Structures are given as structure tokens and as C-alpha cells.
Amino acid sequence: MRQKENQQETTMPYTTCSICLAPAADSAIQDPLCESCLESLHTRCSHCDYIYKTDDMICSTEPICRGCFARSYNHCHDCGSVRMRGELSTNVENCYCHQCITNYSQVCDICDKPSDSIISHYLGVFCQACSDTNIISCKQCGNTCLKYNMAYDTSLGGMICMHCELDKYEWTAQAFTPGGSTYDDVVSELSFGIEIETSRCLGFSSLCGNTIWACTNDYSIGGKEFVSPPLHGDAGLTEIRDFCSYAVDHEWESDDRCGLHLHIGLEDFGPQELKSLAYAYHITYPLWSKFVPENRCGDSMCGSPGYNKSEIEKITTGDYEDWEYFVAERDRFDAVNWRAFLVHGTVELRLLHGTLDSDLICNWIKAHTRFIDFVTKQNVSDLYLFFHGDIHYQFTALTAIIGPELANYYSDLAFGFSTDVRPTETSLAPF
């Protein structure tokens, strides 16, 4: 008899409510409920039409589930009303509905003048006149942007936002072919080239086809990286000054995330000269680091030379094999990047901070090319005697190499970074 009752229970023609055991209603929820329990405990989302527990719904003029709210809605920071994200504007750090943002600020973000007709926008709040003249749709992506952050694109015949400009344009360098060059200013005949990293370079696309400099992407910075072709002589310094002048005139910027990398050509040097040069940069790094901001020296993109004197002394000068092995073992992100020798035949000096100051850049080139010309003519033992001492001792030696005028520039530069490198009465001079 009990067996028949069990069979009847398992073959009931309907599902029971999980709360009161009454016949359950047809619903889009996981647990079956009768009509009465369904209405008292659950609510249908007005946005997606699914049924959820009432306690999990966002209170509004219409019920909204948490998933729909996260995707499409937000609260007004002032009045707390729930609005579609497109109906809210961001001012400072919070979202506001149109009514509250008008009360929040009656001052235009552009002209900084009060107005009775403030227009709220996701870019800020503006008076009517500033909105009409400064908010423009990008010709490339269609997003509205402030005119300040847009550039004219000749190929599209309209303004594009800085994001589209950065994504769209990139080009290679052209050959440097001066009609003739002197060496009175630079003094050294070594070739050189620089990589300028920028944090802002709005309008750079107008240079496409009109410059010998390359334009490349570097996703560690906010702008583009501009790379010169191999340069030489005083004409090469003039090329750098002209490019920096253009950048400054167009209000480009290079912030503390940026660096300036100098390449110097070493194709004509043999293993003996290269060995001396590697040692010279190893022993004088404490001095060179005083000519840049302190935080630059701790930057992972330009660490101190990762080798010591004993590693250098293992290099024989009979052929390139030992030298190339030494170079291959180095980290390309050292302040003195020897890996560049394998790729470009250069040494890359990465220590200098990001800058568009042409005097700083050209003096950096003059100091390093003169330094390389001198130290490659010495052996490691002579260089040890010449530079072995504190930074005051080393600066005296460097002054003899680069000349007093350039040395005065660098003593002032170091002093600006809170270090006095000038020799004292107790400092020992190398000669």
C-alpha cells in the first residue's frame, strides 16, 4: 500500500511551490513558486524582463536588476536618482543628472565664466558659446572631443582626436644629406642619432612626408617617439635644434615617464678601443648620473651598467669574438646599452631624462662624443689612474676632456639637481 502512495507522489502532474507547497506558476526563476509567493517575493526587471528576488533589485521608478544597472545605469551623486549612463555627466569625480550638474557648477570649464545656460557634457560643463566652438566630432572615430585635443588631418579634410592621430600615423626615417658640414661646434667626427620620447605631440601628423625623422610607437609613453637618422657634424646639431624648435613651438611635452636615448656610431673601433670604452663608462657612471634627476637613476629602463672591471678584463683584443660575447650578455635596458652594437653598430646611452631642450641635448652629444674620442685612445690601466676617485676628481678629469665651457654647463646642471661636482681644495686632480 505504501509503495502505491510513493508512486502517486512521484507522478504528480504539477510542480509545487518551494515555499507553501501550492501548485507552482510558470516563471523564469530557478525555484518554483506559486503566484502568491512569486508576487510577494520577486520582481520582474523592467530592462531585461527576467524575474529576480525583490531584495536584489535596485530601487527606482522602475525595477532594475543589478546586472542591468551595472551595464547601463548609475546613481546621480547629488539626488540619488537612477539614470541611464547617457543621461549622466561626469564632473570632477562623480556622476550627476542634468538638473543636479546645473546646480553643482554654473562656471564654464573653458572660459571660467558663470552662465545661466550651462550645458553638461561627459567632457565637462560649458557655456553655449564655448560648447559651439570647442566641442567637435572626430572625423576618424566620430567621438566628440575638445578642440584643444584635436589636430587637422589633411587626408580626411577635418579634425581628428589625439587618440586617432596616435594610432593612425607612423613612418620611417630618411637619410641625412647635408650639403657640407663643419665640426667646429661638435668637435668630434663621430656619427650620432637620438630618440626623443614625448608625452604629448598633438599635430605631429603634419610632419609626415616633411621630415627626415622617423615616428614610432612606444606604448610606455603618452605620445610618440621621434627618431633621427644617423647625423654628424655641426649640421647634425642644427637638425636637432630645428626639430626641437618645432616641437616647442607646437607645445609638445616630454614628462618624467619619457627618456632621451643617444646613439653614437662605433663602426670604426676595434676590440681594444671598445674594451676601453666599456670600462670608461663603468668607472665614470657615478659622475654621469649626477647630470640627471635622481629618480632617473633608479628607472628600470636605464639601470646602471651591469658589468664590472673583471668582466671587461676578460676581453682579449685579438678579435671580436670575446667582445661580441660580452655585448650579448648585457641588458638592453642598462644606462649604457651595449646590445645596440650588435644591431646598429652603436652604443646607446639611455640615462638622459625626457627633454625637448635643444641646448641640453646638443651638449649631451658634445660631451659624450668628446669623451669617447679620448677614452678609446687609452688602455684600461691608464683609464683607471685617470678616473679612479670621487666625483670631484672625475669631474676634473672630464673637464680636461670636454673643455671648460662645457664643463661649466655640466657643473651648473648637477648643481640644479642638488649635487656640487666642482673640485674642492682637498680633491685630488689627475694631473
- Domain range for residue 94? 82-137
Neighbours of 373 (CB within 10 A): 14
Same domain? 40 vs 133: no
**Residue showing cell 611635452:** 253
CA distance 404 to 410: 10
**232 close to 191: Cβ distance less than 8 angstroms:** yes
Residue 167 has pLDDT above 80, yes or no: yes
* CB neighbour list of residue 118: distance below 8 Å, 6 or more residues apart: 101, 102, 105, 106, 107, 108, 125, 126, 127
Averaged pLDDT of the chain: 86
Look at residues 258, 253, 340 and name the one whose alpha carbon lies nearest to residue 299: 258
What pLDDT sits at residue 28?
Answer: 47
**224 close to 173: Cβ distance less than 8 angstroms:** no
Same domain? 305 vs 389: yes
CA distance 411 to 419: 9
Highest-confidence segment of 116-125, 141-150, 256-265: 256-265
Lowest mean pLDDT among 167-181, 346-360, 366-380, 414-428: 414-428
What pLDDT sits at residue 300?
Answer: 86
**349 close to 341: Cβ distance less than 8 angstroms:** no
Longest CA–CA separation in the chain, Å: 118
- C-alpha grid cell for residue 357? 631642450
Q: What is the mean pLDDT of residues 233-238?
A: 97
Q: What is the 3-state secondary structure (H, E, C) of 225-240?
A: EEECCCECHHHHHHHH
Q: pLDDT digit string (tens) for 180-204?
A: 889 999 999 999 999 999 999 999 9
| Cα 392 to Cα 287, 399, 401, 407, distances in angstroms | 8, 11, 15, 12
3-class state of residue 9 by DSSP: helix
What pLDDT sits at residue 23?
Answer: 73
Q: What is the mean pLDDT of residues 407-424?
A: 94
**Phi/psi class of residue 397: alpha, beta or left (left: φ > 0; alpha: ψ in -120 to 50)?**
alpha
Same domain? 64 vs 103: no
Q: What is the mean pLDDT of residues 141-157?
A: 90
Q: pLDDT digit string (tens) for 50-81?
A: 777 777 777 656 787 877 777 777 777 767 77
Same domain? 283 vs 374: yes
Same domain? 374 vs 311: yes
CA distance 18 to 34: 8
Same domain? 133 vs 7: no
Q: pLDDT digit string (tens) for 395-407?
A: 999 999 999 999 9
Same domain? 314 vs 287: yes
Same domain? 132 vs 41: no
**343 close to 236: Cβ distance less than 8 angstroms:** no
Portion of the chain with pLDDT greater than 90, in percent: 58
- C-alpha grid cell for residue 223? 605620445
The domain total for the chain is 3
Q: Domain for residue 106, yes or no?
A: yes
Q: Domain for residue 366, yes or no?
A: yes
Q: pLDDT digit string (tens) for 321-345?
A: 899 999 999 999 999 999 999 999 9
Radius of gyration of the chain (CA): 34
